[in-house]
Structure 1
Amino acid sequence: MRDKKTVFYSSLAVSLVLISIGIFAPKQLENFSNSSLSFIYNNLGWFILGSVFIFFVFCIYIGMSKFGHIRLGDDDDRPEYKTATWIGMLFSASIGISLVFWGVAEPVSYYIDPPFGTGYSEESAKTAMQFVFLHWGVSAWACYAVIGVSLAFFQFRKKLPASLSSVFYPLVGDKIRGTFGKTIDVIVILSIVIGIATSLGFGTLQVNSGMNYLWDVPIGISTQAIIIIAVSIIYVVSTVSGLQGAMKHLSNLNMLLAFVLLGLVLIFGPTQMIMKIFFQGIGDYAQNFISMSFRTEPYGDGSWISSWTLFYFGWWIAWAPLVGSFVARISKGRTIKEFMFGAIFIPVLGSFTWFSVMGGSAIAFIQNAGETALATAVESDITSALFIFFEYLPFSVFLSILAMVLVIVFFITSANSAVFVLGMISENGNPNPSHLTKIVWGVIIAAISVVLIMTGGLAGLQSALVATAIPIAVLMLFMCYSTFIGLKEEAAIISGGEAKEKVELFKPEKLKETKKDLAILAEVKETKKEPTILAEVEETREEEMLVTNK
């Protein structure tokens, strides 16, 4: 029993130590984290960019190759969730809350301060959407898909525990059950705890900002603490209900609310402009994908790339263990080809649509209508940018309330997936962790978020999370190699089984059995024909007798 709880207690202790530093020495943690990030960006930025590109190439390769037909589970397994629900759960577990937070703020920020050229110009508007698509495109989802497909393959096809350490079985064998495996699991849990705590902290700030904008609710620690506690109670209860309970229904609700909000802004906003931005952005993104993916600015200071592209790519890598583990858990029964198409390209189109509608409309208001106050609002307070943007549309209050509800529901589903994954890894890969373990992690995450907001340690802990991208990226590269070995062996087993069946078919004894079966089949057919023939003969005889009598 003690060995089974090693990962849980070790990760809990390490997490609390790091969080304690964020509580009692937030400035020191922030300074150390920023120094670490600066070192990484200046010396290892190329490694982050190269790793993310390798992940994307790996995903495309295994999805389009002979491995694409391998099912994540037994050959007769079929998906547990309908495709629409599955896609909704992908968004809910990963970037849903971030899409709402950055939907307006990020494109406008790039428009004001582009990576090159002059801000507030037609060229900067085009560049803004191009880089937004890079940061939220296939590169981000490939990080999630690498871990998702690897873990799902070894968990459901090879019947190993639902822990990321299982993915390394082809490389280290049974060491995944020893110190090596437990160390990996502790690192993964640490990144998940930090990631979800900071994400929920920033989400709380946006909800508080929306409440202040709509109802003059004061912005302060007490209000934010109440928000976190209220939401935490909901997500802990829904997590206890399981994947088939409230979590699935909340994910469906997320998609419904998101589509309604998106549709209303599309209709009320500059519709024709939005469609042009969407298609122009996809074209620019596809045309410049390679150059943007490897852009390091070696001849300049590289500050823009460090602040945005490297930060985002590091953030996706750091979040990959959480999202990838959850995506693996809900993807049993799908083929690798189906998984890759659904986990990369469909969410990317959703992200592009969201930013085109929200960010594209905001840029259009500033560029074409001269509403520079919106740009000023984004520069001064990112958390309120979305609600100020709605002022330029009809039914602004309704849209603001809808957006705030959407943030809260995304808030809940993100925490749901995190608590569920933490429970799985803490219990050595148990796909259905105990309620007690999930409740403990839920309470800890809520407490961490509250304390970080109180002490101002959110920024420092966020930087610390991105700094973990380097060791996690190294693990993910080895994960790609290990998964390739596993898939290659599985493909050989499948091919060997098919070849054996063909050989068996042409063995002498098999041929004799086949001839015997054919002879029996012929006799059966003749037997079935016999009554018909007799009836025909009898009918002919009766006709002859009638002729004779006449």
Structure 2
Amino acid sequence: MQKYTSVFILSVIITSIFIIWGLIPESVLPYGNLNHVTSVIQAFIIEKFGWFYLLTATFFLIFALSLIFSKYGKIKLGQDSDEPEYSYLSWFAMLFSAGMGIGLVFWGVSEPIFHYSAPPVGEGYTGQSGRDAIRYSFFHWGLHPWAIYSTIALALAYFTFRKEQNGVTSNILRPLFGERVDGNLGILINFIAVFATVFGVATSLGFGAAQISGGLSYLTPIDNSIQTQLIIILVVTILYMLSAQTGLNKGIRYLSNLNVILAFSLMLFLLFTGPTNFIMDLFTTSLGSYLQNLPSMSFKMTPFQTENTWVQDWTIFYWAWWISWAPFVGTFIARISKGRTIKEFVIGVLAVPTVFGALWFSVFGGSAIFLDFMEGAPIVDIVNEQGQEVALFAVLDHFPLGTVMSIIAIFLITTFFITSADSATFVLGMQTTNGLLNPPKKITFIWGVIQSASAAILLTAGGLDALQTSAIIAALPFAVIMILMVFSLLKSLQEETKPKRQNK
């Protein structure tokens, strides 16, 4: 077997070039440095293709929902005799931890409190802006992102376990392009998937490092600086590299279960020590409002309000971020979903994380809005002064055992960081070794170093803005590939059911 695949060599070379490019200071390349060039590209993409991201994400949601009620729902992701490898609890824990663990902890308070103070329409700091804040948080973290994940995960699982092909992205498009996916076209497709994964995950790791640093600075005299964040990335890199060497069934599985237990414990503690009735009332009314307004929000742009960039700054960024994460999360979910039916798979991937995420935002975001709106606590002011990364700790500080809860939160962010990075090295290893379900540890080690270096460079080059920029750029070409995946999957499913229709 070839020691290093063409996809691996090409991906390592180009991502390494980006890392080296990011090390060049602005003084040497005033207009050619990484941060400036990517910012220009991002501005162009947002201006010209924002509508494309919006329509694409909604298209994936419609596709996923239609599969639940289609004739394909009973088809297994594997052979008809295959049974699921993991229990529902472990399955949910791993897909949730890989899917949005770090992001949910980072944005659980900071996003609702931002929308509350600066809503998409109307005045901030009002009851209406508070309701809208939670509704839009549900929107950005609910059905749309998990539909994006489920689309690629379903396709990968179907072609890997039922059609018994190598678990690489290019094989999904074989029904459309035939043997061309075994040549340069396939190398290009798989490279785009790897590139999107590296920078999509780097965005999340950067957020995690920033929040750990913010929490430490909030609790201790440690400065919340780039230097601190880089040290955190180094330490956590060592930890997740050790975890990655234990494989999927040990390190990732155990840490994922631990993550869910810690997340549930932290959420339940705040729910019952905080304004319980307010939180549950807000959850109930926001869930109804989210479902009621889902169609209009899914297609909302502001063509007559060119000065209002809220949709571009939030919704478009999120859809791009989820798409850039899709090859990573999709590959990982596919790997752990063998033996489930299409209907069972789509319902599980869409419903369970969406409901949990909605409850999470109601508890953490709702508590923040309650403190600021009902109690007069300066939560928004603290976030504006010290950064979004301290938002969670500013809220926990107002409740019993606040310091203890903040320490647990930092530990939770760290374990989510390790799990996300660990899972990503595993997926990158699969995608660059012709789909090996257990890639060599040497390969995962190399990807672990590249991943952390990418996150560190992006943070150094432009902080959180640079992280967001990289995700939006990486997502555009992969969004096109994902659209092709839908038609390729449908073509294969139709071929599979043809004999049954002919026998009737």
TM-score above 0.5, yes or no: yes
The separation in 1 between residues aligned to 2:42 and 2:456, in whole angstroms, is: 25
Aligned counterpart, 2:448: 442
Uncovered stretches (5+) of structure 1, i.e. residues with no partner:
501-550
Aligned counterpart, 2:483: 477
Give the counterpart letter for 1:128 in structure 2. Answer: A
Aligned counterpart, 1:507: none
Aligned counterpart, 1:290: 295
Q: CA deviation at 1:240?
A: 1.7
Q: Does 2:247 align with 1:233?
A: no
Aligned counterpart, 1:131: 136
Q: How does 1:61-460 map to 2 (within 5 A)?
A: 61-301=66-306, 302-371=308-377, 373-380=378-385, 381-456=387-462, 459-460=465-466
Q: CA deviation at 1:420?
A: 0.4
Aligned counterpart, 2:18: 18
The separation in 2 between residues aligned to 1:4 and 1:157, in whole angstroms, is: 27
Aligned counterpart, 1:44: 49
Aligned counterpart, 1:487: 493
Give the counterpart letter for 2:334 in structure 1. Answer: A
Aligned counterpart, 1:55: 60
The separation in 1 between residues aligned to 2:78 and 2:454, in whole angstroms, is: 37
Give the counterpart letter for 2:148 in structure 1. Answer: C
Give the counterpart letter for 2:304 in structure 1. Answer: Y
TM-score, scaled relative to structure 2: 0.95
Whether the 8 Å CA contact 1:30–1:461 is kept in 2: the answer is: no
Q: CA deviation at 1:465?
A: 2.3
Q: CA deviation at 1:495?
A: 5.5
Q: What secondary structure, in the 3-state scheme, does the structure 2 residue paired with 1:94 have?
A: helix
Give the counterpart letter for 2:368 in structure 1. Answer: A
Give the counterpart letter for 1:31 in structure 2. Answer: H
The separation in 2 between residues aligned to 1:293 and 1:76, in whole angstroms, is: 39
Aligned counterpart, 1:542: none
Q: What secondary structure, in the 3-state scheme, does the structure 2 residue paired with 1:223 have?
A: helix
Q: What secondary structure, in the 3-state scheme, does the structure 2 residue paired with 1:70 have?
A: coil
Task: Specify whether residues 31 and 208 from structure 1 end up closer, same or farther in structure 2 by C-alpha distance, changes over 3 A only.
Answer: same
The separation in 2 between residues aligned to 1:476 and 1:142, in whole angstroms, is: 12
Whether the 8 Å CA contact 2:203–2:471 is kept in 1: the answer is: no
Q: CA deviation at 1:242?
A: 1.2
Q: CA deviation at 1:4?
A: 5.1
Q: What secondary structure, in the 3-state scheme, does the structure 2 residue paired with 1:377 have?
A: helix
The separation in 1 between residues aligned to 2:418 and 2:494, in whole angstroms, is: 39
Q: CA deviation at 1:494?
A: 5.3
Whether the 8 Å CA contact 1:148–1:327 is kept in 2: the answer is: yes
The separation in 1 between residues aligned to 2:46 and 2:87, in whole angstroms, is: 41
Whether the 8 Å CA contact 2:109–2:391 is kept in 1: the answer is: yes
The separation in 1 between residues aligned to 2:84 and 2:169, in whole angstroms, is: 21
The separation in 2 between residues aligned to 1:389 and 1:342, in whole angstroms, is: 31
Task: Specify whether residues 448 and 51 from structure 1 end up closer, same or farther in structure 2 by C-alpha distance, changes over 3 A only.
Answer: closer
Whether the 8 Å CA contact 2:103–2:207 is kept in 1: the answer is: no
The separation in 2 between residues aligned to 1:464 and 1:204, in whole angstroms, is: 17
The separation in 2 between residues aligned to 1:194 and 1:357, in whole angstroms, is: 30
The separation in 2 between residues aligned to 1:445 and 1:305, in whole angstroms, is: 29
The separation in 2 between residues aligned to 1:137 and 1:221, in whole angstroms, is: 31
Q: What secondary structure, in the 3-state scheme, does the structure 2 residue paired with 1:69 have?
A: coil
Give the counterpart letter for 1:143 in structure 2. Answer: I
The separation in 1 between residues aligned to 2:127 and 2:164, in whole angstroms, is: 54
The separation in 2 between residues aligned to 1:311 and 1:454, in whole angstroms, is: 20
Q: What secondary structure, in the 3-state scheme, does the structure 2 residue paired with 1:476 have?
A: helix
Aligned counterpart, 1:31: 36
TM-score, scaled relative to structure 1: 0.87
Higher relative helix content:
1
Task: Specify whether residues 40 and 226 from structure 1 end up closer, same or farther in structure 2 by C-alpha distance, changes over 3 A only.
Answer: closer
Q: What secondary structure, in the 3-state scheme, does the structure 1 residue paired with 2:72 have?
A: helix
Q: CA deviation at 1:460?
A: 2.6
Q: C-alpha deviations, 1:441-478, integer Å up to 9, x for none?
A: 11222233334444446533530321232221111111
Give the counterpart letter for 2:162 in structure 1. Answer: R
Q: C-alpha deviations, 1:121-141, integer Å up to 9, x for none?
A: 111111111111111110111
The separation in 1 between residues aligned to 2:340 and 2:468, in whole angstroms, is: 34
Does 73-82 or 484-493 show the bigger shift?
Answer: 484-493
Whether the 8 Å CA contact 1:22–1:460 is kept in 2: the answer is: no
Q: What secondary structure, in the 3-state scheme, does the structure 2 residue paired with 1:469 have?
A: helix
The separation in 2 between residues aligned to 1:218 and 1:471, in whole angstroms, is: 38
Q: CA deviation at 1:318?
A: 1.4
Q: What secondary structure, in the 3-state scheme, does the structure 1 residue paired with 2:22 have?
A: helix
The separation in 1 between residues aligned to 2:456 and 2:63, in whole angstroms, is: 39
Q: CA deviation at 1:219?
A: 3.0
The separation in 1 between residues aligned to 2:450 and 2:59, in whole angstroms, is: 35
Whether the 8 Å CA contact 1:270–1:361 is kept in 2: the answer is: yes
Q: CA deviation at 1:109?
A: 0.2
Q: C-alpha deviations, 1:193-220, integer Å up to 9, x for none?
A: 1122232122111111211222222333
The separation in 2 between residues aligned to 1:486 and 1:322, in whole angstroms, is: 23
Task: Specify whether residues 3 and 183 from structure 1 end up closer, same or farther in structure 2 by C-alpha distance, changes over 3 A only.
Answer: farther
Report how many aligned residue pairs link the two structures: 497
Task: Specify whether residues 330 and 495 from structure 1 end up closer, same or farther in structure 2 by C-alpha distance, changes over 3 A only.
Answer: farther
Percent identical residues: 42
Q: What secondary structure, in the 3-state scheme, does the structure 2 residue paired with 1:67 have?
A: coil
> What RMSD, in angstroms, separates the aligned Cα atoms of the two structures?
1.7
Give the counterpart letter for 2:200 in structure 1. Answer: G
The separation in 2 between residues aligned to 1:476 and 1:138, in whole angstroms, is: 17
Task: Specify whether residues 399 and 24 from structure 1 end up closer, same or farther in structure 2 by C-alpha distance, changes over 3 A only.
Answer: same
Give the counterpart letter for 1:483 in structure 2. Answer: L
The separation in 1 between residues aligned to 2:464 and 2:130, in whole angstroms, is: 31
Larger Rg: 1
